[in-house]
Amino acid sequence: CGCQDRSLAAAVKVSIEAAGHLAEPQPSDIFEAKAKQTAGDKIQLVWFYCPLEQKSAPALFNVYYDNKSGQIDYENAIAVIHYAGRMFYHYQSDALGAGTYLFAIRAEDSAGAESDSLAELRVQLDVTNPDAIDILKAGAI
């Protein structure tokens, strides 16, 4: 008895893992992330986390990198940043050598479920000093 809804308002979203089972709830992916070179040989990552449509609340963020190998090591986080609400977060690396680095940031909930985002930040670190600028003085003859 009643009216049947044929719109998308009653749609249900499910996530299925590779084995075909329902995926466990996990925090949302990082919304926006940027990287920049600071202090000559360090890299600073800045990201924003928005809790919209999240399946589980985050407790922390894990920061991973590749150590110039080209493959991010998701087993060993280089930093853990605790979640403190909807805001911008940042991480600054230790001194690094010149080269290309890959970084990834994943949110993790209190049960240990981590987002499975494959998004990565590629950063080219240049530790050389810029060439000196010659200042010329001109005068009327």
Residue 33, both tokens: 């992330």
Task: Note whether 100 and 124 are within 8 A (CB).
Answer: yes
Q: What's the one-letter identity of residue 59?
A: A
Q: Which residue has tokens 């449509």?
A: 53
pLDDT in tens, 51-93: 777 778 889 999 999 999 999 999 999 999 999 988 899 999 9
Q: In what order do the strands lie in the sheet with 58-65?
A: 79-82, 58-65, 99-109, 121-125
pLDDT in tens, 18-56: 788 877 777 877 878 999 888 778 999 999 887 777 778
**What pLDDT was estimated at residue 12?**
57
Read off the pTM.
Answer: 0.73
